[in-house]
Chains A and B, each alone.
Chain A
Amino acid sequence: MFAMINNAFSIALKEIRRNLTRAFLTVLGIIIGVSSVVTMVTLGEGTTEAVKSQISSLGSNLLMVRPGAGFGPRSRSAGVPDFTEADVDALLRQVPGIAAVAPVRNTSTSAIYRENARMGGVTGTNPGWFEINNWTLESGRFFTDDDLKKGAAVCVIGQTVVDDLFADEDPIGKKIRVGKASVEVIGTLKEKGQVGMGDQDDTLVVPLSTLRRRLLGQTSAHDIGMISISAEDGVDSDWMIENIETVLRERRNLQDNQENDFSVMDTRQIAETLSSSTQVMTTLLATVSGVSLLVGGIGIMNIMLVSVTERTREIGIRLAIGATAKEVLLQFLVEAITLSSVGGAMGIVLALGFCTLLAPMIQVNFIFNTQINIIAFIFSAVVGVVFGFAPARRAASLDPIDALRHE
């Protein structure tokens, strides 16, 4: 038995060396399949991880209220009114446990300083917003309640905006043109970094009153697209959500039989929503690359079918000379397993190479996932054995003379 296995190995390796092109093509199919599966799943996981870590950097006791049911990417249904400033005040007064609340109105416009210009979002809010979103200052100051009351022409900017508008200059005290208004930069924010869902530092904040008076003009009392709330430590967020909902339902005149026309979410729920959507993406990528693994397998099958005549004759010769069907099959099995494991291993190495290269480019961490590597490797071995071994089984069951006559 040992001698038989030993023999099968030496014959199989000889056959591989003798037909390097065939071996190369077989291995190539597996390499492509395995490397794409491993790359996609690894990067997908990295993305999920990045999103999660970013969400936890938002702070654990943050709540967001938005008009419209559902909390997907802007799933605001038509006709649902935004919030008013009175809603915000009511929440602060009536809901216990609120540490800070900030109305948020967003718009998008140009910002110009001398010859530098950019297009981007502008946020109008109150001073509590900085605390709620965990911002710290790089230089200058935040705007104050006084600024808010007066509608002062001031703004605070993130590092991306600093880089866009001010080359080497100190931004503090400089006047920039935002839309049609001229505002003074009074503070810059410390960098938060660019993780997962977009650039946090691409931020330009003005007092809400300034946004209304100087930039947009107020058309309706219902102009607040989002309310950010931070809860005091130790407050149960489900309880808080319930209270917020009660207050808002009353203020929005909803009957008992009507659904909420707004939604409240805390950071945990946001995290779940976002990571479940990235998981969907990962699954999708895995499916796509699973298909490419299958295509690789079909490629292998093709090569095997093309060479089946020659291989059937080879089997006929070996049988005629006194090899048993079992010995021949063992040889083919060893060949198939060798090629597909070499292919699988090379695919994994290639994938890890891709990942180390690509992960920094798309700004995710490279997380080595043992499981997917093992799965891809086993799958490649199975593919190789099934497609490489099946034709040999048929040939080895023939009488030698029939195998020799095969054409």
Chain B
Amino acid sequence: MADKVLMKGNEAIAEAAILAGCRHYFGYPITPQTEVAAYMAKRMPKIGGTFLQAESEIAAINMVYGVASTGKRVMTSSSSPGISLKGEGLSYLAGADLPALVVNVQRGGPGLGGIQPSQSDYFQATKGGAHGDFHMIVLAPDSVQEMAELTVRGFELADQYRMTAMILADGTMGQMMEPVSLDFKFRDPVEKPWAVTGTGMKREHNIINSLYLKPDLLEKTNFDRFERYKVIEENEVLYEEYKMEDAEICVAAFGIAARVAKNAIDQAREQGVKVGLIRPITLWPFPTKAFAAAAEKVGHFLSVELSMGQMIEDVRLAVNGKAPVSLCNRTGGMIPLPEQVLDAILSIHNGGAK
């Protein structure tokens, strides 16, 4: 196995992107994702790439739209308020079927909110994030290693399905330092005959566009796109199960919340409570089947989130009334302690919390 290097999560994203062949980065400063831009600003000029600090997140995402139109790998990163500004661009990327990688290192909201870690952009990320019928592939790392791996995977999925992949991380993931292996297995690159590269007077002109004035045509593009989404839902769901074999209580958590939850689960197990975890790694597509299967044998679900409870809605949909689903949360930049999660597990175990 290749050597590991000690890196911050945000830096791991940047280096993994470069290794994945991304040579264009556009961004606008915002805490807590600054290290991604700083890393790119240092590295890109040395390897013939482009780092450009845009005048706004709106400009940055549209620069991404430009490079994506030419068929090259391109990314931007930001944090919650900045992602809201990118919403317009995310919708256009979806409408024009362009691949891109967007990183959201979330902070507490709404509004200017705070700069501490949060997961309260779950709705925004998984339910489209802007106007129109569309989805993004949403990847939620829970370690620095996954920050790197999911960045590579994000580029590959984006290319394969011609859509935006979003890394949905949070301030802790971004700042945390862990050893990482950057020894990736890359998929073969995807042909992009649709890209605008200049006709060279050798082919018909290519057009990158999301305007369809005829409603039947626009409807068809949406139907076609959602056919592609079905393939993704079938083939690209990622999740981790932890101590689920004999579990009677199932915790649902992603990212930093999953790490806290594992700690609590270990403590609960020491007390003889049969509890496990399903950790969605793709938030869209959501591991609905895994939760539905768990609902056949588990008596109670507990969604642990750094928000007022957003993923819990998808857990409830998947569980489909077969078992109660409770919430254990902190928000606004606060992180639940393992003790809080343990208490929630124990009170379910003792027939409490609903």
The answer on A and B forming one complex is no
